[in-house]
């Protein structure tokens, strides 16, 4: 047994073992030039929602088939626990605070299509490099990286400015406001405060007018007119944005043109699938990148009638099963065009499931399996550990499971390398080329440390001690669950990154994830002899990491996040923005 252990730990022997186990030899990479890439990214999907990751009640046969025919990663980590920063890191291969896409304030994602923040034009996405290498590049679905900077049509943050030849989808993200029958979701608590303030100001104004008319109070009509004008101005100032969220944010675009404003949600799924398959068919004779960025499984959980009531987990389960069907349709299109052996398919989620998303007794968010926490929590595993699956028949060994720390940022250098390009040399790239690990040519991930941020705040750090196989994780900041010990911030709807809603730990909470993946039993100097050594090692890594950071403009500052009428994408003459070009067709 000791001999076997020695063999398995040797990076020279691992490829030999893989070769013996496989029925067919792996293709030499030198014979493959520029494979196609199909990237399938789910939205808010929990790692516990997928069959091949342990779920036995939600049916995901197509995603499970990808894992059976390819490589499944069990420690695949998002660079952030929310959509905008995680996707920025995915596209650039860099921690989001390097591009200014990490927030100092509570506005941690792009909030409006008419905000001025977004993925900076000077960032180089993998799509841009693949485009330079002769690839046809398409993005279908969700963007959520901003649209404009200074004018309604400058499109400085638009997908077409970031290396995509073709875009069809939402420049924003799905929210419940997009579905007229659903309870509004966007900035719900803030909206309640604004509405309450409006009512109070209106009541004061009405009381003053009645008092003046009845002679109970002595106040000039001019003052009352000013008060009434202020009340009206206050109401218009916020209702002009929040009162029309569906028109401002819930739009569909094809390239730079708006096709639906507001979007017609009943047909969104079929249009996204149709566009994805059409892109494959149009580009089958040359190398292509298709980034299918699903609107599933984000609320309001748009689900066609065919899938309603099919799962054992209500509307959320129905939605996940429909997404799995869409995955199957895309895989069938690849097979139909004879592209299976020349196409690398990747499936993942942008971050963990949203535990707090509930309406009454309905659970509308995902499940993160055995892992603590969820969406918006920068440190706990449930917010950042996601499914990660690669399939490339004949090149990647089928049915392989890799339990090594990897990151969504690793997609960047992996794709660039396979396309024959080179990663930018003028900036730090935090991702690592995964191909040697995926093919079994090396035993360990190149990542020694991974840094887990919540906005700009460093919450936790992971250290992969390769000589022992231990995966240490130190938490410096954790959110305060509400109610206490509830496992999420149900009273808030989201866990915060800083302020009164978090606890700072000195010394940090320490876990050994290979022994305690649920982060249930923090270690101490009394229970773990290596405690001090590990904390010091991680502390030095943080110092070294921080030396690589340089100041950049904050894309998610309040001034960049707020709604700006002059930046609002509009199909028509602002403010009369409405069109349905899909319906016209």
Q: Which residues are catalytic?
A: 83, 144
Crossing angle for the helix pair 83-92 and 411-418, to the nearest 10 degrees: 30
Helices and strands in the chain: count of H runs, count of E runs: 16, 19
Is beta strand 502-512 parallel, antiparallel or unpaired with respect to 470-479? Answer: antiparallel
User: Helix, strand or coil for residue 254?
Assistant: strand
Is beta strand 288-293 parallel, antiparallel or unpaired with respect to 136-142? Answer: parallel
| 3 state SS for 131-144 | HHCCCEEEEEEECC
Cis peptide before 585 (omega within 30 of 0): no
How far, rounded to the nearest angstrom, does the alpha carbon of residue 21 sit from its chain's CA centroid?
Answer: 36
Q: Which of 408, 563, 428 is nearest to 88 (CA)?
A: 408
Cβ-defined contacts of 459-464 (< 8 Å, 24+):
459/378, 459/379, 459/497, 460/378, 460/379, 460/380, 460/508, 461/538, 461/541, 461/542, 462/77, 462/405, 462/513, 463/534, 463/537, 463/538, 463/541, 464/404, 464/405
Partners of 40 in the beta sheet? Answer: 292, 347
DSSP state of 97: G
Partners of 140 in the beta sheet? Answer: 168, 292
Is beta strand 136-142 parallel, antiparallel or unpaired with respect to 572-573? Answer: unpaired
Token pair, residue 317, equals 């389960």
Is residue 79 within 8 Å of 103, Cβ to Cβ?
Answer: no
Token pair, residue 160, equals 């077409």
Handedness of CA 226, 231, 237, 243 (dihedral sign): negative
Q: Round to whole Å and give the CA distance between 122 and 109.
A: 19
Is residue 330 within 8 Å of 23, Cβ to Cβ?
Answer: no
Is residue 464 within 8 Å of 77, Cβ to Cβ?
Answer: no
Token pair, residue 265, equals 């949600």
Kindly list the distances between the CA atom of residue 129 and the CA atoms of 132, 138, 252, 392, in Å, as whole numbers in the listed order.
Answer: 5, 13, 26, 21
Strands (E), 378-513: 385-391, 400-407, 449-454, 457-465, 470-479, 502-512
Partners of 406 in the beta sheet? Answer: 76
Q: Which of 553, 567, 401, 517 is nearest to 67 (CA)?
A: 401
Question: How many CB atoms are closer than 10 A to CB 38?
Answer: 25
């Amino acid at each position: 047994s000791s001999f076997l252990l020695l063999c398995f730990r040797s990076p020279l022997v691992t490829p030999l073992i893989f070769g013996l186990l496989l029925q067919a030899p792996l293709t030499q990479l030198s014979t493959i030039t520029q494979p196609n890439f199909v990237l399938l990214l789910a939205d808010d999907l929990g790692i516990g929602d997928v069959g091949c990751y342990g779920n036995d009640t939600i049916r995901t046969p197509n995603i499970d088939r990808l894992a059976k025919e390819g490589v499944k990663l069990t420690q695949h980590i998002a660079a952030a626990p929310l959509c905008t920063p995680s996707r920025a890191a995915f596209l650039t291969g860099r921690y989001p605070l390097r591009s200014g896409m990490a927030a100092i304030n509570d506005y941690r994602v792009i909030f409006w299509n008419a905000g001025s923040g977004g993925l900076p034009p000077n960032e180089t996405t993998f799509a841009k490099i693949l485009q330079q290498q002769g690839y046809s590049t398409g993005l279908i679905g969700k963007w959520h990286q901003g649209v404009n900077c200074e004018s309604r049509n400058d499109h400085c943050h638009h997908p077409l400015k970031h290396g995509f030849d073709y875009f069809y989808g939402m420049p924003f993200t799905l929210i419940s406001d997009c579905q007229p029958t659903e309870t509004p979701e966007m900035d719900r608590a803030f909206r309640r405060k604004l509405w309450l303030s409006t009512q109070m100001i209106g009541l004061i104004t009405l009381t003053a007018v009645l008092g003046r008319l009845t002679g109970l109070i002595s106040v000039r009509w001019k003052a009352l007119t000013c008060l009434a004008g202020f009340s009206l101005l206050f109401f218009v100032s916020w209702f002009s944005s929040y009162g029309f969220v569906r028109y401002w944010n819930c739009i569909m675009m094809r390239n730079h043109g708006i096709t639906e404003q507001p979007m017609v949600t009943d047909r969104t799924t079929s249009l996204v699938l149709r566009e994805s398959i059409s892109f494959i068919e149009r580009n089958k004779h040359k190398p292509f990148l298709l980034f299918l960025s699903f609107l599933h499984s984000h609320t309001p959980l748009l689900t066609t009638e065919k899938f309603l009531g099919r799962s054992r987990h209500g509307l959320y389960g129905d939605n996940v099963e429909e997404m799995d069907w869409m995955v199957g349709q895309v895989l069938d299109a690849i097979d139909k065009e004879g592209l299976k052996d020349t196409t690398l398919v990747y499936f993942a989620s942008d971050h963990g499931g949203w535990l707090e998303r509930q309406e009454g007794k309905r659970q509308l968010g995902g499940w993160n399996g055995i892992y603590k926490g969820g969406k918006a929590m920068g440190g706990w595993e449930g917010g950042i550990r996601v499914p990660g699956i690669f399939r490339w028949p004949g090149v990647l060994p089928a049915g392989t499971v890799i339990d090594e720390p990897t990151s969504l940022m690793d997609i960047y250098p992996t794709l660039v390398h396979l396309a024959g390009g080179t990663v930018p040399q003028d900036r730090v790239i935090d991702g690592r080329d995964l191909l040697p690990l995926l093919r079994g040519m090396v035993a360990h991930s190149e990542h020694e440390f991974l840094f887990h941020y919540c906005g700009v705040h460093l919450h936790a750090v992971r250290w992969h001690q390769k000589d022992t196989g231990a995966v240490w994780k130190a938490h410096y900041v954790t959110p305060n669950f509400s109610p206490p010990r509830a496992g999420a911030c149900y009273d808030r709807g989201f866990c915060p990154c800083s302020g009164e809603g978090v606890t700072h730990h000195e010394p940090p909470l320490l876990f050994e994830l290979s022994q305690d993946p649920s982060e249930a039993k923090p270690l101490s100097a009394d229970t773990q002899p290596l405690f001090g050594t590990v904390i010091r090692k991680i502390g030095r890594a943080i110092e070294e990491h921080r030396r690589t950071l340089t100041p950049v403009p904050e894309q998610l500052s309040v001034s960049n996040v707020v709604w700006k009428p002059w930046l609002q994408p509009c199909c028509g003459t602002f403010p009369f923005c409405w069109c349905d070009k899909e319906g016209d067709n």
